[in-house]
Structure 1
Amino acid sequence: MIIREFLYSDSDEVSKLCMSSFMGTVAETLPEQGVLTFGQIASSDALFERMMQDNIMLVALIDAFVVGYVELKQRKHIAMLFVAPEYQRQGVGRSLLSEIKRAAASPKLTVHASTTSVSAYERYGFVSVGDIAVSEGLIYQPMELRFEDYEH
C-alpha cells in the first residue's frame, strides 16, 4: 500500500470512492438534505477547492487504485475518512490515520463521525465527546482521539 498526497487527478476517483461508500453505509440513515449536503462536499469540484486551502488530503493506493482517502482540516479535524468496502479492516484506515497524526498541530484529533462509523472510530481509539448532532441534514457523533491513547 502506498499513501501519498491527494492530487488534482485523483478528484474523480476519490469522489466516486466517497460517494459509493457513503451511499452504501450512511445515506439510508439520513434525511434527503443530508444526502444532498454530502454529495456537494464529496464532489470533484469541492475536493479540488479544499485542496487549494490548508487541508491535508491523502490517498491510499493499492495496485495504483485509490482504496482510501482522508482529509484533515485546520491540522486537527478529520473532515473525511473513507475506505473502499472491500479493503476495510485491512489496515488502510489505520495507515491513513497514522500519516494524518504526523501532520496534526494539536494533541488530539476530532471528527464528526456518522452514526454508522462510530464503532470503526472506536477501534482506532476515538471516544465520543458529546451528544449526537445534526448539521445541514448530516447526523454525526462528535469524537476525539488523544494521541497518548492512540496505538499504531
Structure 2
Amino acid sequence: MNIRELDNEEYDKAILLSLAVFTKCGTTDFTTNGLETFKKFIYNTELMNELTIFGAFDSNELIGIIGTKLNGTHISLFFINPDYHHKGIGRKLFNRAYADQIVEKITVNSSSYAVGFYESLGFSKTAEEQETDGLRYTPMIKMQNQL
C-alpha cells in the first residue's frame, strides 16, 4: 500500500470514492436533501481545491482518502473503500496526513458510522448528533496533546 498527497488532477478519483462510500456506508446519515448537499460540496471545484487530500493506493487503485482544510485543523472528507475497512488504512492515512502538521486541535463532523473510529484516534464528541441541510453528524475534536 502506498499513501501520498494527491495532485489536483486526481481529485476526480477522490470525489468518486467519497460518493461511493458515502452512499453505501452512510445511508442512515442523510436524506435526499443531504445527498444533494454532499454532492454540491464534492462537485464544487473551488471548495475541493481548499482541501489537502491524501490517498491510499492498493497497486494503482485509490482505496481511501482523507481531505483536510484550514491548515489541517478540520477533516472534511475521510473515506475508505468498505472492502478495506478494519485493516488499519484509516489510521495510516490519518497518521500520514498529520505527520508534518502542527495543529492545536482537529475538528470533524463525523457520520454515525465513523464515531467509533474517530474515538479510536483520540477524538471526543463536543455535542450530540445534529442535522444540517439533510446531513446528520456528530461534532468531534482532538486536542494537540493527543496528536
The interval holding the TM-score normalised by the smaller chain is 0.7 to 0.9
Unaligned runs of 5+ in 1: none
Which of 134, 140, 145 is equivalent to 1:143? 140
Read off the aligned partner of 2:27 and give its amino acid letter: A
Per-residue deviation at 1:70? 0.7
- Classify 1:139/1:51 alpha carbon distance in 2 versus 1 (closer, same or farther; 3 Å): closer
Cα distance in 2 between the residues matched to 1:115 and 1:134: 12
Cα distance in 2 between the residues matched to 1:103 and 1:111: 19
SS in 2 for 1:104: coil
SS in 2 for 1:19: helix
The question of whether the paired residues in 1 share the 8 Å contact of 2:29 and 2:135 is answered with: no
The corresponding residue for 2:56 is 60
TM-score, normalisation: structure 2: 0.88
Unaligned runs of 5+ in 2: none
User: How many residue pairs get matched?
Assistant: 146
Read off the aligned partner of 1:36 and give its amino acid letter: E
Q: What is the aligned-residue RMSD (CA, Å)?
A: 1.8
SS in 2 for 1:116: helix
Cα distance in 1 between the residues matched to 2:141 and 2:114: 13
Read off the aligned partner of 1:40 and give its amino acid letter: K
The corresponding residue for 1:69 is 65
The corresponding residue for 1:129 is 126
Per-residue deviation at 1:146? 2.2
The percentage of aligned residue pairs carrying the same residue is 26
- Classify 1:39/1:52 alpha carbon distance in 2 versus 1 (closer, same or farther; 3 Å): closer
The corresponding residue for 1:4 is 4
Cα distance in 1 between the residues matched to 2:90 and 2:135: 22
